[in-house]
Amino acid sequence: NMSNPSDILILAPEETELKKVKGDCWRTPGFSGNRQVPGQYTFTNQRILFRGNGLIEKLRLTFAIAYEDISTIRPFNINLFIHTGIQIELKNGSIYKLSVMKRDQVMSLIHEQMRTAV
């Protein structure tokens, strides 16, 4: 039963949480333009999970990105002063834009997981 969008955030038995950070999502596939959705990122040994803040579970922005589906990641700046963005492009061409503090740490974690992803 996947009626609840946050079901994708439930960790698989062999999945372990590596890091949790607050952040924003600026772009998801199928949505044109930029929007700022605050929430929390969880980086596991298999996926990047995002759960938007909000009271109504079904309306929250939630998504999961498997490291094995990522083709490239690169930094981007939200604006002149905010250098927290990470653009993730999937092998299917989809683009996500994340924004997190300590971007460099998070990017090296993603790179590390991409290397070991099968």
Report, as an integer, the average pLDDT of 12-37.
91
Could you tell me which of 54, 52, 53, 49 has the C-alpha nearest to residue 18?
49
Q: How confident is the model at residue 118 (pLDDT cuts 50, 70, 90)?
A: low
- For 67, list phi and psi in degrees, rounded to 5: -55, -35
- Residue identified by tokens 């609840």 is 4
Percent of the chain having pLDDT more than 70?
A: 97
Report, as an integer, the average pLDDT of 43-67.
92
CB 46 within 8 A of CB 67: yes
- Count of CB atoms situated within 10 Å of the CB of 27: 21
Residue 110 scores a pLDDT above 50: yes
Would you state the torsion angle of the CA atoms of residues 75, 95, 92, 50, taken in this order, to the nearest 10 degrees?
A: 100
pTM for the whole thing?
Answer: 0.91
- Count of CB atoms situated within 10 Å of the CB of 44: 20
